[in-house]
Structure formats: structure tokens, C-alpha cells
Structure 1
Amino acid sequence: MRSQHPVLILLVLTGFITVSFITNLLGPIFPELISDFGIGLMLAGFFPFAFFIAYGVMSVPAGLLVERFGERAMMLFAYSLSALSCGLFVLLPHFAVAMLSLFCLGLAMSVLQVVMNPLLRFAAGSEHYSFMAVLGQLLFGLAAAITPVIYQQLTALPSDAWLYPLLLWLPATMPWLSLYLLFAVICLLMLVWLWFLPFPKHTATEAAAEPESAHHMLQSQWLLLKNRTVQKFFVAIFCYVALEQGIANSMAVYLQQVHQVDAASTGASAVGQFWLNMTIGCVLGLLLLKLFDCRFILLIFGTVSLLLLVLGLSGDKPLALWCLPLLGGSLSVMWSIIFALALNSMPGQHGAVAGILCSGIIGGAFASPLLGLLAEQLDSIRLAMLLLFVPLAYIISIVFWARPLVNNQNWWASRQRQPAAGLEDVA
């Protein structure tokens, strides 16, 4: 089963970059949001919550809608909703509009995630999907790393730049709105590309000539929800996002409370290194996926993550400052491999399956509040962060129960097949 569509691959990889830009826009502007809206940290915490909770609301319906209307229609809807949400916030920069805008952006991003993962599997071929998914994660990480740089460049834009006249429409006290304006422009450009891009007749959904009835679609969705394989991979996605967000959001506070590290400088730098290491880890993952089975790579990266987490939470300050940021590298390939194993374990309905899996991203909305609650109850953030071993253990367990119908193409598998072929020739 192999289908190569380079233009579709380029479209999806570009989509990962746009999703990363929009998903990570809160990072560089978070202090400005708090200051300009005059709100506290607790109320500001509802900004990321509004974004991530949208995944739980939209992902499963998006899977059904992709099966019904196809990838192009749903991507057009997602980019249209994104452009409108960003544009609305630029025109009406108020707290309530910010919440609505972030929720709508979360809805749009969940649709894109549901569409792009099965579409990439179709475009690249199922045996190459693991590799391409990690490449997408690499681009996602790079885009996340340069979002603060783009923000700094926009706020210091010279008057002779071609974008400068657009910035004159923004309130002088809210230069961070330039990011929303830029993302609206990017979404409009993606809409133009999608409108003129010819999709192949049979895409990832492999829809039948006659559309399914609503009753049949709901019946199929119910069967998928009861499928043990789908359920186990949903939990895996939930665990991964909870683990990633739990580490990234708790790291600076842990270093501050346990090792008396300045959160605004050294702590923030450690978090930045975490995301940078995630990008570097993806590069290593791309090489390893050409050499070995993705389950073996997941085992290695999971074991390294376990070791780094133990050392980071039990060691002294230098060890913690070294091990905790390195967790970004060891977590880097997990999302892509889990998603690839899930889709390659199912014979069909990949759009609907992707919808169920993406709803697991809601794990990011609950990780930090739960860790915070435990830290207050136990009066120790170190003890609270021991909870992170639970999702990590589940992710490692995938290696032992995953049974994909299609394995990633790799050197080790081809090497194992060569002796058998030679014996057949001799016989």
C-alpha cells in the first residue's frame, strides 16, 4: 500500500507549521495579555484552557465530518474559522473576545489535526507515515521556537516595511495583536492554496461513491468508540499531552521552589531548552526511523525519559538543570509514533479514528491544574511531579501491546528478510 502525492505532503507539512504558529502564540504574548486586560494568573489560566478544551469538544465530530465531507472541505472550514477568529480579535481586543477567539482557534486546530494526520498517511504511504509524522513534528517544533522571534521582529518593524501600514490599524498599547494579524494573513493564503489545489479523486477517507447516512455514520462511530485498540491509543494520546504539558508548565516552578532558581531567567531558559531539545530529538528520530521499527525507538526514548525524570526529580540543582530540559529530546518522537501506530493498527475509517485520538489532546487542559492541586495538598511540588511517571509508564507499555497492520519501512526489517530470501533462492 503506497501512494505518493508530493503536493499533498507539502500541504500537510505546511499545515503543521501554521498549526504550531497558532497553537504557540500564547507563549510570547502571555505577560502582555495579563497586563493589558488587568487580570490575575488564575483568570489568565483560562486562555490555554479555552484553547485545549476545544479539542475535546470538536475532535470526534470533526472525524465524522471528514468522513462525510472530505479533507478539502474541512480544511477550508478550519482555515476560514481561524482567519475570522484572528480578525475578530484584532478588531475587538477585549477579554471576552479573546476567550471566544482562542476557543474558536482551538476548534479549527482540532479539525486540522484530525484531517492532516490521515491525509499525510495517505499521501506518503502507510509504511512511510511514521517518518513523515516525525518530520511534521520537527517542523512544528521549529515553528514554535521561532514564534517569539517573529513577535519581536513585528513589534520592531521599520516604517518602510510592507507590513507596516497594516500595523497602523492596531492599538498602540497592544502591539502583540500584530501576531493575530499575521496569522489571519497566513490563514487567508492557505485558503487560496487549498481553493486551487487539485485533490486526488480518492483521498485519505477513501469515501464510497454514495455518502453514508447519518445513522450509519453514528453507528460506525459508536463501534469505533467501543474498539479496544482505539480506546487504548486514545489513552496514550491523553497521557502524552498530559506528560508534555505537565513537564513544560511545571519545570520553572519546580526549579524555583526546590532549587531556588530564578523562574524568570534560569527557569524560563530551561523551558526554552526543553522545546529546543524536542526539535533536536526529532532530527535524531528521523534517522532512527529509517533504521529500526518505531516500537523499538519508542522503547529507547521512553526508557531514556524515565531515567531523565528520575534523575531530574531526585538529583541536585546542576543535575536537574541538565536532565529536565533534556526530557524535550526524549519525548520528541512519542506523539508521532503513537499516532502512526494507532492509524496503522486500523484497517479503515482513519478520519474518524483520528478524531477520537485528537480528542485526547484534552489531556493538556488537565495536567497542570492537577499537578498544582497535588502540590498544594502535599505541600511539595516534587511529590506532585511523581504523578508524571504514570503517563510515562503507559506510553512505554505501548511497545508491548501495539500490533500495527503495517510497520514502518526500515533497514533492520529489510535486513531480517534478506537471509530468508537467500535460502529460498538456494532451495
Structure 2
Amino acid sequence: MPSKKMAVKAESLSQKDTWISIAIIGVLFFVFGFVSWINAILIPYFKIAFTLSNFDSYLVAFAFYISYLVMSIPSSYLLKAVGFKKGMMFGFFIMAVGAYIFIPAAMGRTYEVFLLGLFTLGTGLAVLQTAANPYVTILGPKDKAVQRISIMGIFNKGAGILAPIIFAAVVLRVGDTELFQQLETMGELEKNAVLDELIQRVIIPYAVVGTVLVGLGILVRFSPLPEIDTEHESAELAEANSSKTSILQFPHLILGALAIFLHVGTQVIAIDTVIGYANSYGIGLMEAKVFPSFTLAFTIIGYLIGISLIPKVITQVNILRICTLLGTTFTLLILFTSGDVTLFGITTDVSIWFVVLLGLANSLVWAGIWPLALDGLGRFTKLGASIMIMGLCGNAIMPLIYGYLADLYDVRFAYWVLFPCYLYLVYYAVYGHKVRKWAFAK
């Protein structure tokens, strides 16, 4: 168990130490983004390499993110036992194991082993996210938490912009578009040889990623990042929580975890399905690979707006309300608008650009929910954070629902799955975060 003497209260840190800590956590969020958002191109890549249905291809997201549901609470106990820094080191090491699993998976072109590697990567990220999100939430004034989380978001989504582009540059070749079109006409032996060569292109990149992750784990362990005391409660908060014996006695947290579940589901659908949606309009993988980067670029624009305006011009709660309403509006526009438009030199249906604009709508939802959900938890903060991180399994489940609807109907109709999600997020932004007692409680 980490020494209590080593842990410090967040408010006791100097401004210099606070910014050093934010910078280190920013590096972590860059890694989160790079490893997570590369799934946007892994999904169509594996769909070709393993000749998968829409549903089966979204098992990439399922395997990666279901680990958050399974591992988040164990992660909180790990962090409680060894502290933030050692816990983060272990998180990086687990991620490295996941990256290395890609090597035998590629050698045998075995989809199930790739899914195991993705689950292991997600497990390591669950540990890191359980530590990093509450860390940055409490690392400064409460009313500026969205600003800090937005800065982390820029690191995260900036990496997400780079990830599919770098992956495509390293793994895809000139002429692959024609090659993919020829697969259906090839004989079984020739096709298997081509697909074996295609999937084995990931071996060197993921070997490098695994080695980098090991190095980052060692660096974080010996970095100047301080241990933050999340067990401390003010006298007023201790009195308010004196009768609390269970995390379930914080309705605003549980409702917030459901909000996170739905929010991350909408976010991953917007990013991980846009290439497939563009493919349905005749845009090939080599050209469509830029759409996730466009979506993430709009997310970064949203973060910059948040950093500039919160809390001087607009409150955290009001920006959350605006974003959730935008998400609802853009979803309806995806479903009910059509017609070609040319943007950034690409001519395609206007509805694709509303999928891209979901990046703007989603930008400040995560940052808005976290401080509201963790408010007043005191000694329950670590466990509360793990409950919130469990909500990230929405990234696993929501794409499968989208993929099922896409196979059953079509890829455009499947975006109906977003509509009820955004309606709930509007509810949480307007009312749900204020609930401090269950209606059925005595």
C-alpha cells in the first residue's frame, strides 16, 4: 500500500508542480488516443483481411472496450494498493503485452487472437484511465475541471488524428485499392497468400508500439508526478458522507456512469463507422481514411472553445447542455438530409459531413460529465472513478448494435441508435446530475 506520507493534497501543489503533472498526464492521454482511435482503421482493415460482416468487424471495438467493464473495479483496488504511479506503470506493461500479442495473431492470421490482444490493450488502458481521469479532475479548481479535461482531450484526439494516418502510411501500399477489388476474383490459394501478406504488415508496427509502451511505463514510474490524496475529505464533506456506506448511494454518479456509457458509444460510432459509411457512397479506403481525422479535428475545435470560454463566458453545465443538443440535431440531419457537397476536395453526400460534425457535438460531453459525477464523492472517489470507467464499455456494445442494424437494414439507418443516447445525455445535463437521492430511497 502506498505510504500516506508520500500522498499530497491536490490543492497543496505549487503552480509549477501542477503544470508538470498536467503535462505528464497529457502524454498519457496522447497514448490513450493513439491506441484507442487506431481502431477506426483497424475495423475496415480487418474486415478486408478476414472477410468479415459489419457485425463481426465491430468485435474489434467490443474486445477492446469490454475490458473496461471487466477490469475497472479491479483497477481501482490495484491503484489503492500500489498508488497512482506504480499502477500506471503496470497499466503500460499490460498494454505492451497486448501489442505483442498482435505478432502471433498476424503470423497465424487468427482473428480471435487479435481480439485477445485488443482486450489486453484495453485492460491496460482501464488501469491508466482509472488513475488519470480522477487525477486531472481534482488537479486544480473545480470550476476549471472542464478546461483541464479539454487540454487532455486535445492530446487524446490529436493522437487520434495521427493514428489512422500513420497506420495507413505504414501498413497500406500504393495499389491496395485495386488489390482489394480483385480479391473476389482470386482463387482460394492466391487469396489466402495475399491476405496473409496483408495482415502480417502489422507485425513490425505493433512490436514497436509494445516496446514504446514498456519504456513509457518505466518513465512514468520514475517521473516527478506526485501521488495525489483522493481519500481526503473536508469536514463539511465528511459530515455529508458520514452515513454513506455504498457507492450506489450517489445517484448522480450512477446516472453519470450511464451517461458516459452512452456518450462514448456515440463518440466511437461517429469515428469508427464513418469510413464504412463513406465506403457505402463509393469512396475507397485510401480516400476515406481521412474522415476519422476530420471528426477528431472538430472535436479539438470544441476543446479549444471550451478552454477559451469556460468558466468566464459560459458554465461547464451549460456547455454540456449545448453539446448534447447539438448531438441530437446532427443525428437527425444524418438520417434525413441528402445531396452531394464538396468539402476539403472530397465530393460526397452531405450526411457524411454531419457524422463528422458529431466530433464537435461530442467534444465537451466527457469533460462536462466527469466533474459533475465525481462531485462530493470524497473517500469514494477512486471507486467512483472506476464505476465511471466501466461506462467505457459503451464503446464495446454500441458499435455492435450499430453493426447489427447496418447488416439488418443499412449503414445509414443504423445511425438511429444515436438518437436515444443523445436524448438521455440531454436529460443528464439538464436534471440528472442534480439527483442526490434515489426516488425510492427512504
Which residue of 245, 250, 266 corresponds with 2:268?
Answer: 245
What are the equivalent positions in structure 2 for 1:29-108 lying under 5 Å apart? Answer: 29-30=42-43, 32-34=45-47, 38-41=50-53, 42-90=55-103, 93=106, 94=108, 95=110, 96-108=112-124
Structure 2 equivalent of residue 175 of structure 1: 201
| Structure 2 portions without partners, runs of 5+ | 1-9, 173-196, 234-242, 341-349, 437-442
Residues 1:400 and 2:433 are matched in the alignment: no
Shift of 1:91: 5.8
TM-score under structure 1 length normalisation: 0.77
Shift of 1:235: 0.8
Contact 1:29 / 1:176 at 8 angstroms: preserved in 2?
no
- Once the two structures are superposed, residues 324-351 of structure 1 have per-residue CA deviations (whole angstroms, 9 ceiling, x without a partner) of 3212112111111111221234333221
Which residue of 291, 296, 299 corresponds with 1:278?
Answer: 299
Contact 1:3 / 1:122 at 8 angstroms: preserved in 2?
no
Q: Which moved more, 1:241-250 or 1:260-269?
A: 260-269
Q: Distance in 2 between matches of 1:337 and 1:234?
A: 12
Q: Distance in 2 between matches of 1:7 and 1:404?
A: 35
Contact 1:204 / 1:351 at 8 angstroms: preserved in 2?
no
Q: Distance in 1 between matches of 2:153 and 2:199?
A: 35
Structure 1 equivalent of residue 366 of structure 2: 335
Q: Distance in 2 between matches of 1:194 and 1:256?
A: 41
Contact 2:248 / 2:254 at 8 angstroms: preserved in 1?
yes
- Once the two structures are superposed, residues 338-371 of structure 1 have per-residue CA deviations (whole angstroms, 9 ceiling, x without a partner) of 1122123433322111110111111122212223
What are the equivalent positions in structure 2 for 1:197-208 lying under 5 Å apart? Answer: 197-200=223-226, 203-206=228-231
Q: Distance in 1 between matches of 2:170 and 2:282?
A: 31
Q: Distance in 1 between matches of 2:137 and 2:382?
A: 11
- Once the two structures are superposed, residues 195-243 of structure 1 have per-residue CA deviations (whole angstroms, 9 ceiling, x without a partner) of 322454x5143379xxxxxxxxxxx998113531221011100110122
Q: Secondary structure of 1:40's partner?
A: coil
Structure 1 equivalent of residue 213 of structure 2: 187
Contact 1:345 / 1:404 at 8 angstroms: preserved in 2?
no
Q: Distance in 2 between matches of 1:221 and 1:7?
A: 35
Contact 2:76 / 2:383 at 8 angstroms: preserved in 1?
yes
Q: Distance in 1 between matches of 2:402 and 2:97?
A: 35
Shift of 1:106: 0.7
Would the alpha carbon gap of residues 27 and 177 (structure 1) be closer, same or farther in structure 2, given more than 3 Å must change? farther
* Number of matched pairs: 376
Q: Distance in 2 between matches of 1:305 and 1:49?
A: 23
Q: Secondary structure of 2:377's partner?
A: coil
Structure 2 equivalent of residue 132 of structure 1: 148
- Name the % identity: 21
Structure 2 equivalent of residue 212 of structure 1: none
Q: Distance in 2 between matches of 1:67 and 1:23?
A: 25
Amino acid at match of 2:421: P
Residues 1:306 and 2:328 are matched in the alignment: yes
Q: Secondary structure of 2:11's partner?
A: coil
Shift of 1:89: 3.1
Q: Distance in 2 between matches of 1:370 and 1:75?
A: 32
Contact 1:274 / 1:326 at 8 angstroms: preserved in 2?
yes
| Structure 1 portions without partners, runs of 5+ | 157-170, 209-219, 406-427
Amino acid at match of 2:220: L
Q: Which moved more, 1:139-148 or 1:122-131?
A: 122-131
Would the alpha carbon gap of residues 35 and 298 (structure 1) be closer, same or farther in structure 2, given more than 3 Å must change? closer
Q: Which moved more, 1:279-288 or 1:25-34?
A: 25-34
Q: Distance in 1 between matches of 2:101 and 2:406?
A: 38
Contact 2:298 / 2:360 at 8 angstroms: preserved in 1?
yes
Amino acid at match of 1:369: L
- Once the two structures are superposed, residues 166-205 of structure 1 have per-residue CA deviations (whole angstroms, 9 ceiling, x without a partner) of xxxxx997232232123223212212222322454x5143
Q: Distance in 2 between matches of 1:226 and 1:140?
A: 32
Shift of 1:28: 3.8
Structure 1 equivalent of residue 133 of structure 2: 117
Contact 2:65 / 2:122 at 8 angstroms: preserved in 1?
yes
Residues 1:2 and 2:14 are matched in the alignment: no
Amino acid at match of 2:354: C
Q: Distance in 2 between matches of 1:352 and 1:341?
A: 15
TM-score under structure 2 length normalisation: 0.75
Which residue of 14, 21, 30 corresponds with 1:17?
Answer: 30
Structure 2 equivalent of residue 159 of structure 1: none
Structure 2 equivalent of residue 350 of structure 1: 381
Q: Distance in 1 between matches of 2:289 and 2:261?
A: 25
Shift of 1:105: 0.7
Q: Distance in 2 between matches of 1:222 and 1:21?
A: 38
Q: Which moved more, 1:171-180 or 1:285-294?
A: 171-180
